[in-house]
């Protein structure tokens, strides 16, 4: 018995050592190379997208740039999609992923997250004047994107309102959802409200957001699993951005009252004294 305990202790010691040898690897590498490789989406308006001049811009791009600046390193932008962002992090292809990722417990088993840097919630986008509340969507067809939390949320929300088998159609891309909505194949499109705002603003006056938020979508920056030193560095950078006003500036640039995507800020990010 005693021997077993010793063995287990030794094993756990070795594990701990291995883990500690691994922890901090990303931080040291970033600081040594002076480059942070960051995964960013390419087709999420206004999060990150190519504008008319084919420049890669958006809220997430600016946030990533600000974090890199706080860390004193260069930003290396790597295009990711909702299919690739997790894999890239796990493989070490990128050091962080600023790509409107909702922080979920089940996702936390595979990667780590920073503190929440953006508060979004899920809503429905529908043709103007047709629907007034969430209840009206019972029995209607709703578009979502495959592989997102919004897909599960909308099914759960409709079930709760008494729809026994919600007609949810999952597409691969946001643009496809919007196209399906435009041609009337679906009665609404449901995802995070900022994305909906971004698309609705392209054709002003035709679509509107309907009903209340039916889920919270706290966005976190995806980080490699079990690397607390790196996680701390990113968290501190975000908090510093909030304190010195950089965050507010970026927020106003993309979601402020004068923009096409006006989205009032309702919460504050977590600050540690």
Contact residues toward other proteins (CB under 8 A) are 42-43, 45, 49-52, 54, 56, 76-84, 86-88, 90-93, 104-107, 109-111, 143, 146-148, 152, 169-176, 178-180, 183-185, 199, 202-203
- How far is it, in rounded angstroms, from Cα 135 to Cα 151? 17
The least CB distance from residue 129 to other proteins, in Å, is 17
Q: Please, which residue, 61 or 134, has the CB nearer to other proteins?
A: 61
Cα–chain center distance at 85: 10
- How far is it, in rounded angstroms, from Cα 49 to Cα 72? 25
The least CB distance from residue 174 to other proteins, in Å, is 7
- How far is it, in rounded angstroms, from Cα 250 to Cα 186? 34
Q: Please, which residue, 91 or 133, has the CB nearer to other proteins?
A: 91
Q: Please, which residue, 80 or 269, has the CB nearer to other proteins?
A: 80
Quick count: other Cβ atoms within 10 Å of Cβ 166? Answer: 18
Quick count: other Cβ atoms within 10 Å of Cβ 65? Answer: 17
Query: Rounded to the nearest 5°, which phi and psi values hold at 255?
Result: -120, 5
The least CB distance from residue 158 to other proteins, in Å, is 15
Cis peptide before 45 (omega within 30 of 0): no
Q: Please, which residue, 35 or 265, has the CB nearer to other proteins?
A: 35
The least CB distance from residue 19 to other proteins, in Å, is 13
Q: Please, which residue, 162 or 184, has the CB nearer to other proteins?
A: 184
Q: Please, which residue, 82 or 193, has the CB nearer to other proteins?
A: 82
The least CB distance from residue 273 to other proteins, in Å, is 33
The least CB distance from residue 188 to other proteins, in Å, is 14
**Cα angle value 245/247/253 (rounded, 5°):** 105
Report which of 40, 30, 26 is spatially closest to residue 74, judged by C-alpha positions.
Answer: 30
């Amino acid at each position: 018995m005693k021997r077993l305990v010793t063995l287990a202790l030794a094993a756990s010691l070795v594990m701990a050592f291995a883990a500690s040898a691994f922890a901090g690897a990303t931080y040291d590498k970033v600081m040594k190379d002076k480059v942070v490789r960051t995964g960013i989406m390419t087709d999420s308006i206004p999060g990150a997208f190519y504008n008319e001049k084919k420049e890669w811009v958006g809220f997430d791009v600016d946030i990533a740039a600000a974090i890199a600046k706080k860390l004193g390193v260069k930003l290396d932008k790597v295009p990711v999609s909702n299919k690739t962002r997790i894999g890239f992090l796990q493989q070490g292809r990128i050091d962080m992923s600023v790509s409107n990722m909702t922080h979920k417990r089940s996702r936390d088993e595979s990667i780590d997250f920073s503190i929440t840097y953006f508060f979004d919630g899920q809503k429905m986008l529908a043709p103007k004047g047709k629907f007034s509340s969430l209840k009206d969507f019972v029995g209607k067809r709703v578009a979502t994107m495959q592989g997102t939390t919004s897909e599960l949320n909308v099914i759960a929300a409709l079930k709760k309102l008494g729809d026994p088998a919600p007609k949810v159609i999952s597409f691969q891309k946001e643009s496809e959802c919007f196209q399906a909505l435009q041609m009337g194949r679906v009665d609404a499109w449901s995802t995070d409200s900022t994305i909906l705002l971004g698309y609705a603003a392209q054709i002003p006056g035709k679509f509107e957001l309907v009903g209340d938020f039916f889920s919270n979508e706290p966005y976190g920056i995806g980080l490699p699993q079990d690397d607390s030193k790196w996680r701390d560095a990113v968290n501190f950078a975000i908090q510093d951005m909030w304190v010195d006003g950089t965050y507010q500036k970026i927020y106003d640039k993309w979601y402020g009252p004068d923009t096409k995507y006006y989205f009032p800020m309702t919460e504050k990010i977590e600050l540690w004294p």
